[in-house]
Amino acid sequence: MAQDTPAPEGTEPDGLEDFIAAEELDALRAERDELRDRFMRALADAENARKRADRDRREAEQYGSTRLARDLLPVYDNLKRALDAASDETRGQAGALIEGVELTLRELTNVMTKHGVKPISPVAGDTFDPQMHQAMFEAPLPGTKAGQIIQVMTEGFLLHDRLLRPAQVGVSSMPG
């Protein structure tokens, strides 16, 4: 009977050495794959954060003046009311004053337009759009269809593509 001779100390049989090397190699590959996956996720997160920051910056540039624009709308309304209230007699007596109010309103309109504030100016006969108009009242008016604007109280305004204030209108409730 042949006896197995013990391997010299510090050496292992070839099969076991290969097995341990293969196991270690598999563990290293698994660790590499996990690290690659974590790296790719971190890269994607960083890219998403960059895109989100760009979008937030663009929105801040475009819509950061929303509060100021809303605060200026009553000034616009009051200047417009002042001009609408001026009769021909008043225009004759205080022509320079009326001209000053007109110039102020024009300059305010130019500044608002420069900063992306656009008026929503419906006219009687237009169709009511709940996205752009606020119905202040409904009344049956002969010669109109239900849903038509019959009176405009105040203009509305958009800041770029967002509604700052809807136009305030009266709407016909005439049955079809």
Residue 5 forms part of a structural domain: no
Same domain, residue pair 129 and 74: no
Same domain, residue pair 124 and 90: no
- What whole-number distance in Å separates Cα of residue 95 and Cα of residue 31? 85
pLDDT of residue 131 exceeding 90: yes
pLDDT, residue 9, reads 55
> Higher model confidence: residue 22 or residue 70?
70
60-90 tens-digit pLDDT? 988 888 999 999 999 999 999 999 998 888 8
Residue 159 forms part of a structural domain: yes
Residue 2 forms part of a structural domain: no
> Higher model confidence: residue 20 or residue 97?
97
Residue 1 forms part of a structural domain: no
Number of domains within the chain? 3
Same domain, residue pair 36 and 58: yes
Token readout for 42 is: 């971190």
pLDDT, residue 5, reads 53
Could you tell me which residues come within 8 angstroms of residue 119 by beta carbon, excluding any fewer than 6 positions away? 109, 155, 156, 157
- Region 156-161 average pLDDT: 94
Domain that residue 76 falls in: 65-115
Same domain, residue pair 70 and 111: yes
Percent of the chain whose pLDDT exceeds 70: 90
Residue 6 forms part of a structural domain: no
pLDDT, residue 120, reads 95
Instruction: Give me the torsion for CA of 159, 126, 150, 76, rounded to 10°.
Output: 20
- What whole-number distance in Å separates Cα of residue 138 and Cα of residue 167? 15
36-62 tens-digit pLDDT? 999 999 999 999 999 999 999 999 988
Instruction: Give me the torsion for CA of 44, 47, 49, 55, rounded to 10°.
Output: -140
> Which is it for strands 167-172 and 133-139: parallel, antiparallel or unpaired?
parallel
Mean pLDDT of the chain: 89
- Region 144-163 average pLDDT: 93
